[in-house]
Structure 1
């Protein structure tokens, strides 16, 4: 232009181009963050269940056209945003951000590996949503299963289905457990992404295709509302169950042995609210007595007095110390007779109840030594047999995090459990959402197994979940409470309880086959839009 130095006219365009290139470069990372935020928001404390398919749709869109390394990074960032937010309680319990960051990063690796497989499947199935949706959903479920089983027994926290307890997909739980629910969420998300992508092409045919994808996604999410509850027998009567949460003294108030005894005494004090109210048995939480109530005379005396005053069996969590290790037990205590049954936790939590590779992890943080005595695993099903009100009751008693391992609960139900008690100790997790997230697992397993489930916590949340999704007798956290609920004793099993193990194997096999197909596409090829691009892939 006349009057301007050569080249100045191109500067605004150059700046705009740089901004556009920067926006394009950051778009995958932004999409990963949005995906993680949506998945996190579907869980407690928000429970915006409808955002889970949206998060899946965003991740699928972000993976289209990505090279393998970029796809892995996109999946990792999405998982890091999701799990990093979800497991905030890890830093609460340890007092260091390292625990939260480390756990979040390890769990995010599974999402990264899954994204890599998804990227490979987008090439052959990218323009065929009716094939792509079940393929990606199958891989998601298979990876989720693997994360919940390996290594060190796995970590099921963040299983997609556990965030759907307030949504219509809960009705699918008794038919296909978390696998069917997670499959439906992911497939719906893939279909939503396909609807948006097809609609952007314009034209009547695209509008019809996009509408069909939306209708299919809506059918997956809302269709289960029309499913009847499976016929699980409720003909064995009811039982009046009391459950108690006490008060945990601050460490500044009292410590050591006296603190453990004070916890038990506080529970006994709160239990007096149930006297004379007709309870058939009473539940105390995990770690109701961190002193061994069998051998410690003071702890045993408190438990015995509470049981005698009630006149009914008392189920409580206690610790056992046979050597330089410990066991986490849930026992039945009968008035004037003492302990009469015991279940020992079969799935201690690594880094929470025992410390693997202690010397190695001590290089990063001294918090590992907060676990001064490692817990060992017990064996046998999570069951207690109790004689109450002249009847023999069989109670499933998964302890704390064990409620997230569906196989443990399903085994107990198949072996005759009539209802589920979930004793837990959430005191270490402060005011985080950990207890509410765990209660949602309890709610899900209640629906899956067709059994009433009672979560009883040291500090809350405690409450009763029914198989039809109803919740009642909820307690306020960090406040002594004693509640009495009439619980139906059920027999029979749901389809999910019967086939869960077979479905797990089927998803592993199908996931492995789809992973092989993704590998066969060639991890060095850019893909994801249904066409191979010779160059320029990101």
Structure 2
């Protein structure tokens, strides 16, 4: 009976958290209401305040599962069960957040600890299991907002912290226990974050050199790719689009490119093993007379393995530098525990050969310019982008294939993530997709070109070559480690204070009340 009463008390809180999770999901593309973050976060905290740690688990799970169901419904293209399984998995991280947050909210300085704990939670979701899934970070919603400029200083983790802190400060203002003085401090801090970000000036100046880069979106025959028949058609579509580009160059209606970029899976057939595919690529390279960065699936390196790659194909010397995708998608490009799962889940056979991860960053020197190549979902992973910037990439390239998810909102979300990477790194980003969205994002995050989906599209951009680093790329992973450490420290302090209360020992400083709250120095 007592358990039923406890459940009855926590269920209204879970309902509030579910509403908060749904609101947060609508902050992102394709809905694009980023201001909902500062509604959802305080609503979630309101549901957690006063709850027990066990109650926080349920409240956090309700929030997280709903959040991901709204954020990534496009995964239902693979299967509704896949979308639900991912939402439950990611929801578990927010369940842990909820359990800890119920205790952290009792501490002095709780706004700092809660915002840091949020970053620690995002770090966990982006790391485990199987390399993590960094799609749900608060920062991704702010590619069109002045607040997004903060990414150039403190990176994506730092921006997520700022967004979470804004939500926390809103809750601090609305929280009944907050004194007038504490509310004033919260308002001033919030205004400083928003106003300060608006004053940041993002430079787009290069080192004086300009590269003409052509992005080729050849389009695909329907959603997804099937072996041989459709794969050859996709390669031929990119060949024909490249030949059409060269005709326009010869007519004088288009600038001659210095480099041509084909997307991920522009050939699903290994050009080193298949003469017809190789002939198509060489015909395109010979026609334009400049290197083409080809997205190709190669056989090997082991038996029943493949690699998703970007190959620099030169008109004089042929294939050269190769970048192999380092973060293949689990259950999409490879199957964890393959031997154990395949006998029970026949649908996994559609994955085919295991995609073996590459081991080297995608740093590709082409005609005196260093390109940083990342492939598809990799653009959301900090380490992949950080590694090419450590090696002084001057222009970023994202080769992608979103044909399976066309029209679901996933391409729009990935494009927003790409825009945030441009701001963070201070680099132009060139995006090529088989079916869209392809485009050009300037170093300040503004969009020069954005293609439609499921149409051929060829665009030539004059791209500044940049050598300077933003503060974010100079700091590298330090903001994430520091903020995660602060989040963990807040949890430790909260657990120590809880233990002292339970044993009757001296307590840690309690949460501020109306009569005794002090403004943190």
TM-score between both structures, scaled by the size of structure 1: 0.87
- Report the secondary structure of 2:432's partner residue: strand
Which string of whole-angstrom CA distances, capped at 9 and with x for unpartnered residues, describes residues 132-179 of structure 1? Answer: 221111111112112111222111111110111111211101110011
What are structure 2's unaligned runs of at least 5 residues?
1-5, 503-507, 514-521
Which string of whole-angstrom CA distances, capped at 9 and with x for unpartnered residues, describes residues 298-357 of structure 1? Answer: 111111111111111111110111221111110111124321211111111111110102
After TM superposition, give the deviation of residue 505 of structure 1 in Å: 2.5
Q: How many pairs were matched up?
A: 494
Measure the CA separation in 2 of the matches of 1:124 and 1:255.
Answer: 56
Matches within 5 A, 1:442-453: 442-453=418-429
After TM superposition, give the deviation of residue 218 of structure 1 in Å: 3.1
Residue 240 (structure 1) aligned to one of 209, 212, 221: 212
After TM superposition, give the deviation of residue 519 of structure 1 in Å: 2.1
Matches within 5 A, 1:210-289: 210-229=183-202, 234-250=206-222, 255-275=226-246, 276=249, 277=254, 278-289=256-267
Name the structure 2 match of 1:353: 333
Residue 373 (structure 1) aligned to one of 326, 333, 353: 353
Instruction: Mark the CA change 1:432 to 1:529 in structure 2 (over 3 Å): closer, same or farther.
Output: farther
Larger Rg: 1
2:377 is equivalent to residue 397 of structure 1: no
Name the structure 2 match of 1:6: none
2:416 is equivalent to residue 440 of structure 1: yes
Measure the CA separation in 1 of the matches of 2:213 and 2:21.
Answer: 40
Name the structure 2 match of 1:318: 296
Q: Is the 8 A contact 1:288 1:318 kept in 2?
A: yes
Name the structure 2 match of 1:149: 127
Measure the CA separation in 2 of the matches of 1:108 and 1:343.
Answer: 34
Which string of whole-angstrom CA distances, capped at 9 and with x for unpartnered residues, describes residues 177-233 of structure 1? Answer: 0111111111111111121124x98xxx64x6545433432332342111233x686
Instruction: Mark the CA change 1:294 to 1:224 in structure 2 (over 3 Å): closer, same or farther.
Output: same
What are structure 1's unaligned runs of at least 5 residues?
1-20, 126-130, 533-538
Name the structure 2 match of 1:187: 165
Name the structure 2 match of 1:12: none
Matches within 5 A, 1:451-490: 451-490=427-466
Measure the CA separation in 1 of the matches of 2:174 and 2:120.
Answer: 27
Name the structure 1 match of 2:518: none
2:98 is equivalent to residue 115 of structure 1: yes
Q: Is the 8 A contact 1:307 1:333 kept in 2?
A: yes
Residue 77 (structure 1) aligned to one of 50, 62, 70: 62
CA RMSD of aligned residues (A): 2.5
2:484 is equivalent to residue 504 of structure 1: no
Matches within 5 A, 1:95-114: 96-114=79-97
Instruction: Mark the CA change 1:217 to 1:400 in structure 2 (over 3 Å): closer, same or farther.
Output: same
Measure the CA separation in 2 of the matches of 1:449 and 1:184.
Answer: 18
- Report the secondary structure of 1:124's partner residue: coil
Name the structure 2 match of 1:536: none
Q: Is the 8 A contact 2:155 2:479 kept in 1?
A: no
After TM superposition, give the deviation of residue 516 of structure 1 in Å: 1.4
